[in-house]
Structure 1
Amino acid sequence: MAVETSRTGAPGAGEPEAGAPEQAHRSEGELEERVAERTAALEAALRVRDEFLSVASHELRAPLTSLRLYVDGLVRSAQVGALTPDDVPRRLGRVQDQCRRLDRLIATLLDVSQLSTQRPVLDLEEVDLGALVRGTVERMEEDVRRAGCDLYVRAPPGVVGAWDRTRVEQVFTNLLTNALRHAAGTPIEVVLTTEGSFALLWVRDGGPGIREEDQARLFQRFTRLDSRRPGFGLGLWISRQLVELHGGRVSVESTPGKGACFSVRLPLPAPPAGSP
């Protein structure tokens, strides 16, 4: 009697599964695609690095060159007896300005290194944000005058939270400096208020504005919308990192030709239990 048998299960040796060549070809294609994507990303990162090193070299060299020229001039004037007592404060003031500029540049590089490799520890304390804003504006009066801007400030006292004073001041300084640099000669408005459980600080300028396609990359590292202007393109990236460390958010609204408004939201402490 003939007995029929059926065979189930995986095919034996030498019997390839149906569709195996197609699957292998598909896997090779996906692998090649991933390699191409990684290669393109690495090439883009290298271009950004090289551009940053070029910009950093230029930005660091500029104040050093100015310092050398100022000091050389002072030495020559002193040697020939042409340095009067009235000249000393003015000329040393120029040296001091370049030293401060160099210090800011180095501090920026250190911030980038720290924020890129580790999570900085915030030194939280009770901070009156209105007092901090008014104090920073007072310290920057000379920068405002040089930019030819009319500055309007509404920063009432009483907006108090647990923040890192130095870091929050750094963020506001970055935003105000950015406005003075890119919107020189236009009115600038600084307003502090509260919005729900957040303190809201915004800086509005009357500059040329920012295209919508550029706004998304403003807060990325090394972004410089105008390569002719000085700077590393790091101030807004650093500001975003510091605000987010506080649990806040920074954003921009802008229309070309109608200026830009940068907003910072920082969390306020929860009200005491039982308060209305």
Structure 2
Amino acid sequence: MEYNENETKADLLKKIKRLEKEVDNLSSEVALHERNRFRDRYTTRILDALPDMLTILDHDANIVELVSSPNTSHIEGATIENIVHRNVKDILPPKSYESIRIIMDKVIQTGISSIAQHELVINSVVYHFENHISKLDDEYLLCICRDISHQWEIERAKEEQQRALTLAQIKAEEADKLKSAFLANMSHEVRTPLNAIVGFSKIIVNGDSTERGQYADIIEKNSHILLNLFNDILDLSALEASSLELSSRKIRLLDICCQLYQLYRDKTQGEVELIFDGGDADTYILGDLERLTQVINNLLNNAIKFTIQGEIHYGFHQKGNIVEFYVKDSGIGIPSEKAATIFQRFRKINDFVQGTGLGLTLCRMLIEKMGGRIWLRSKEKEGTTFYFTLPCLQS
């Protein structure tokens, strides 16, 4: 350090400040050099350690550089040589590319980083990836691609669990409504015939002997109603528990239809006529005679109950390897909003007409158990036609 005895104190202070600045600059250069040495030594290792695939893209989606290790590549069989200079469009499926292209254009226009997702099939397994796209300058973009397959599966599992939970809640609420409907319906359906039985039983005991036969008929009729009600409930419970066993025998449909005609021809209302349209005498099915008769009985009973004028037709015809049976009435018809749910439990056409709302539910479940299906066509005030099919017994 040079010293001049003629220098003033102010000059010496200036020299000291200049020297301090030089020392600071020298320290900064040393620190910068050390930082550069650290980056030169560890940047590549750091990038290689990252699990994400880092690529530089130009604005046309061409891959300019793979910044990260080739081991992070999500492209099957990829190396730096065959990744660089390829276009993303040539690597991804069209749908995935379009999704990423939209995000790229958004980032280019706004300069704001954004995220896109895509799928890729690797070794026949579908993987899900998340792409964080950022703008580097007016020429290049940085895309950080991360495998989120595990997180994606967790999210889908959560969604599935939520759907199952929601469905279970809906079913529980529906079950609660059905239980309430069942109790309300049964209290009425059981009380009505039971009151008749109890009331007329007392009259028979204390009343005129000339009227006892008439009262006995009323008691018998209501006893049958009550018995049928309990039988329907037991059958429905057995079907829902899959514990109802069906017998299997060769059944000639013409025989059943003729027997039912004799049973129901005098039970129609007013001038309503029951007409059996017939069917092929050689049509047979393999099924449960009692349950098939139960289904047709239910359909004919409903037709008679809701038809006060006109005609009721029923019959069957063979279509290939199935037989189609129908019951057609000219009754009140079924509103479209009720037709959609008429085969569900406790659904009734008319809440003021006696019935549990279980008959058509039992018909559906029995027909389906026998390998067929059942449906209807109806128009209000013009009548309803119920159809069901069953497999034919090939001769």
TM-score relative to the length of structure 1: 0.82
Letter of the aligned partner of 2:187 in structure 1? Answer: S
**Is contact 1:55–1:232 with CA below 8 Å preserved after alignment?**
yes
- Correspondence for 2:275: 152
From 185, 190, 196, the equivalent of 1:60 is 190
Letter of the aligned partner of 1:233 in structure 2? Answer: G
- Correspondence for 1:164: 288
**Is contact 1:147–1:180 with CA below 8 Å preserved after alignment?**
no
Letter of the aligned partner of 1:152 in structure 2? Answer: I
1:95 deviates by 1.4
Are the structure 2 counterparts of residues 31 and 158 from structure 1 closer, same or farther at C-alpha, using a change threshold of 3 Å?
closer
Letter of the aligned partner of 1:245 in structure 2? Answer: K
Per residue, is there more strand in 1 or in 2?
A: 2
1:212 deviates by 2.9
SS of the aligned residue for 1:143 comes to: coil
Are the structure 2 counterparts of residues 101 and 26 from structure 1 closer, same or farther at C-alpha, using a change threshold of 3 Å?
closer
1:147 deviates by 6.0
Q: Is the deviation greater in 146-155 or in 240-249?
A: 146-155
**Is contact 2:367–2:390 with CA below 8 Å preserved after alignment?**
yes
Q: Which has the higher contact order (CA 8 A, sep 6+)?
A: 1
1:27 deviates by 9.0
Give yes or no for the alignment of 1:83 onto 2:209: yes
SS of the aligned residue for 2:331 comes to: coil
Cα RMSD between the aligned structures?
Answer: 2.8
Are the structure 2 counterparts of residues 255 and 49 from structure 1 closer, same or farther at C-alpha, using a change threshold of 3 Å?
same
SS of the aligned residue for 1:3 comes to: helix
- Correspondence for 1:175: 299
Instruction: Report the count of equivalent residues.
Output: 256
Residues 105-132 of structure 1: CA distance to partner in whole angstroms, max 9, x if unpaired? 1111111110111142211112111111
Letter of the aligned partner of 1:155 in structure 2? Answer: G
Are the structure 2 counterparts of residues 26 and 176 from structure 1 closer, same or farther at C-alpha, using a change threshold of 3 Å?
closer
Q: Distance in 2 between matches of 1:141 and 1:159?
A: 23
- Correspondence for 1:3: 41
Residues 155-177 of structure 1: CA distance to partner in whole angstroms, max 9, x if unpaired? 34332221211000000000011
Residues 224-263 of structure 1: CA distance to partner in whole angstroms, max 9, x if unpaired? 2322222121111110111111111111011223211001
Alignment of 1:92-241 (within 5 A): 92-144=216-268, 146=269, 148-156=271-279, 157-241=281-365
Are the structure 2 counterparts of residues 147 and 53 from structure 1 closer, same or farther at C-alpha, using a change threshold of 3 Å?
farther
Letter of the aligned partner of 1:149 in structure 2? Answer: V
- Correspondence for 1:69: 199
Give yes or no for the alignment of 1:248 onto 2:372: yes
Letter of the aligned partner of 2:251 in structure 1? Answer: V
Q: Distance in 2 between matches of 1:25 and 1:269?
A: 51
**Is contact 2:257–2:315 with CA below 8 Å preserved after alignment?**
no
Q: Distance in 1 between matches of 2:203 and 2:167?
A: 54
In terms of Rg, which structure is larger?
2
1:34 deviates by 6.0
Are the structure 2 counterparts of residues 147 and 129 from structure 1 closer, same or farther at C-alpha, using a change threshold of 3 Å?
farther
**Is contact 1:208–1:258 with CA below 8 Å preserved after alignment?**
yes
Q: Distance in 2 between matches of 1:26 and 1:196?
A: 45
Q: Distance in 2 between matches of 1:269 and 1:125?
A: 10
Q: Distance in 2 between matches of 1:249 and 1:26?
A: 35
1:31 deviates by 6.7
1:148 deviates by 4.8
Q: Which runs of 5+ in 2 are unaligned?
A: 1-36, 53-145
SS of the aligned residue for 1:217 comes to: coil
Residues 18-70 of structure 1: CA distance to partner in whole angstroms, max 9, x if unpaired? x9xxx999998987776555434422320121111110121011111000111
Q: Distance in 1 between matches of 2:325 and 2:158?
A: 53
TM-score relative to the length of structure 2: 0.59
1:101 deviates by 1.0
